[in-house]
Structure 1
Amino acid sequence: MRKLVLIMMMCLAALSSYSCAQSDEPVTQVSGKKILVAYFSWGGTTKRLAEEIASLTGGDLFSIETVTPYPTDYTPCTEVAKEELEKGIRPPLKDVVKNMDDYDIVFVGCPVWWHTAPMAIWSFLESKEYNLKGKIIVPFCTYAATYRDETLAKIVELTPDSEHLKGFGSTGSTSGAKGWLKEIGIIK
Structure 2
Amino acid sequence: MNRRDFLKLAGVSLLSLAALTMGCGSFNAAKADAPAPKVKQSTSEGASQNMNNGKKILVAYFSWSGNTKAVAEEIHKQVGGDIVEIVPATPYSETYSVTVAKAKAEQEAGARPAISTKIADFEQYDTIYLGYPNWWGSMPMPVATFIDTYKMSGKKVAPFFTHGGGGVQRCMSDLEARAQGAKFTDYLCLSGSSAKNSQGEITSWVKKTQN
**TM-score normalized by the length of structure 2:** 0.71
Change (3 A) 1:134 1:25: closer
Tell me how far 1:161 sits from its aligned partner: 1.1
Counterpart of 1:134 in structure 2 is 154
- For the pair 1:174 / 2:193, whether they are aligned, the reply is no
Q: Given residue 202 of structure 2, which amino acid in structure 1 is its aligned partner?
A: A
Question: Identity of paired residues, percent?
Answer: 31
Tell me how far 1:24 sits from its aligned partner: 10
Counterpart of 1:38 in structure 2 is 60
Moved over 4 A (4+): 23-29
- For the pair 1:153 / 2:178, whether they are aligned, the reply is no
- For the pair 1:92 / 2:117, whether they are aligned, the reply is no
Matches within 5 A, 1:5-154: 30-127=52-149, 130-154=150-174
Q: Given residue 173 of structure 2, which amino acid in structure 1 is its aligned partner?
A: A
Task: Provide the secondary structure at the position in 2 that maps to 1:156.
Answer: helix
Paired residues of 1:48 and 1:174 also in contact (CA < 8 A): no
Number of equivalenced pairs: 162
Paired residues of 2:49 and 2:56 also in contact (CA < 8 A): no
Give the gaps of 5 or more residues in structure 2. 1-44
Tell me how far 1:185 sits from its aligned partner: 2.5
Task: Provide the secondary structure at the position in 2 that maps to 1:148.
Answer: coil
Change (3 A) 1:174 1:26: farther
Task: Provide the secondary structure at the position in 1 that maps to 2:60.
Answer: strand
Whichever structure has more helix as a proportion of its residues is 2
Q: Given residue 135 of structure 1, which amino acid in structure 2 is its aligned partner?
A: K
**TM-score normalized by the length of structure 1:** 0.80
Task: Provide the secondary structure at the position in 2 that maps to 1:90.
Answer: coil
Change (3 A) 1:125 1:26: closer
User: 2: distance between equivalents of 1:131 and 1:179?
Assistant: 28
Give the gaps of 5 or more residues in structure 1. 1-22
Paired residues of 1:26 and 1:56 also in contact (CA < 8 A): no
Paired residues of 1:107 and 1:139 also in contact (CA < 8 A): yes
User: 2: distance between equivalents of 1:58 and 1:31?
Assistant: 13
Point out the structure with max Rg over C-alpha: 2
Q: Given residue 112 of structure 2, which amino acid in structure 1 is its aligned partner?
A: R
RMSD between aligned residues: 2.0
Tell me how far 1:70 sits from its aligned partner: 0.5
Tell me how far 1:27 sits from its aligned partner: 9.8
Q: Given residue 96 of structure 2, which amino acid in structure 1 is its aligned partner?
A: Y
Q: Given residue 189 of structure 2, which amino acid in structure 1 is its aligned partner?
A: G
Q: Deviations over 1:128-177 (max 9, x none)?
A: xx332211111111011124142122222211111111110111243310
